[in-house]
Amino acid sequence: MKKSVMITGINGLLGQNIVREFSKDHDIYGLDLTPSIFGPSQNIQVKQIDLNDTIALEQYIKKVQPDSIVHTAAYTNVDRAEDDHEIALAVNGKVPAEIANICKHLDIPLVHISTDYVFSGDAGPYRETDDRDARGKYAESKLAGEKAVLESGAKVAVIRPNVMYGNGKALKSSFVEWLVTELRNERSVRIVDDQYNNPTYARRLAYVIRMILENNAWDIWHFGSKEVVSRYTFALKIADTFGLSSSLINAISTVDLNQRAPRPLRSGLICEKLNKELGIPILRIDEELALLKEEMNVA
């Protein structure tokens, strides 16, 4: 019999990429706030639900009894979370705790998506075992969720990605798509050159999730690209991959943006463990961008 997976936040960037990875051999049960972005399909069912409604959530999980759950849904607006901190804490802290609790009682394995924001961002790149020190309300709420699932006693894998990019339909924001559009239209852009990380390509993260589930790898995992670069350097690499001139990309500092929430300046995730223990290759940024270009079907 076909296996099934439940994906929260199915309409989001990572959710869509997990669907692509799993729909070939799984029945998919998706949950999201907004109506399904997937057309009619025999094996993709999407239920519109606010995950804060824990009674409806529990009833649905009990009804479906999926073989695993991947929890990607989150309150992801880092700046707005500074004002909406109770809403962010409910979605990013309490909902994961509830899902993990249900998973424990029904013996369903859970993959929980966390973030590099659980670290201070002062001295990256970080290993899975490094001390956590969240800065800002979004970061604190995600740390609360991560701690709750790890302490739940369920079969849990926590994956921490960095700045995520990839392809998808009707995405709220896509850095690569935005940059490519701006450069194609010959508009100049300002990109920070003092925030360092190793960006995570969503399509490969979806594959990593499959490998973790197939290997029953209940642990904490970091996943990003091979090299840690500034956002400015990342933008130059995008321009190069898509054959666009980088002359319109201007370097600025994070302070110039005057953002509400603090940003990690020296972040990045060491991904050796995933490579050593699960044999997953960690690719260079230009290799992953080439895959994205192919995926986006750009000549």
> Which residues contact ligand NAP (rule: CB under 6 A)?
9, 11-15, 31-34, 50-52, 72-76, 91, 113, 115, 142, 161-164, 172
Shortest Å distance, C-beta 118 to ligand NAP: 10
Shortest Å distance, C-beta 267 to ligand NAP: 10
Pick 161 or 268: Cβ nearer ligand NAP:
161
Pick 115 or 198: Cβ nearer ligand NAP:
115
Q: How far apart are CA 102 and CA 82, in angstroms?
A: 29
Q: How far apart are CA 74 and CA 92, in angstroms?
A: 6
Backbone angles phi, psi at 17, to 5 degrees: -70, -30
* Side-chain-facing half-sphere of 277: CA atoms under 13 Å: 16
Shortest Å distance, C-beta 27 to ligand NAP: 20
Pick 49 or 236: Cβ nearer ligand NAP:
49
Tell me the one-letter amino acid at 15. Answer: G
Pick 9 or 93: Cβ nearer ligand NAP:
9
At residue 241, the 3 state secondary structure works out as helix
Shortest Å distance, C-beta 299 to ligand NAP: 27
> What b/e string do you get for 153-173 counting C-beta neighbours within 10 Å, with b at 16 or more?
ebbbbbbbbbbbbbbbeebee
212 neighbors 157 (Cβ within 8 angstroms): yes
Shortest Å distance, C-beta 57 to ligand NAP: 9
Pick 195 or 241: Cβ nearer ligand NAP:
195
As to burial, measured by CB atoms within 10 angstroms (0-12 exposed, 13-18 middle, 19+ buried), residue 231 is: buried
Residue nearest to ligand NAP (CB): 12
Pick 13 or 110: Cβ nearer ligand NAP:
13
Shortest Å distance, C-beta 72 to ligand NAP: 4
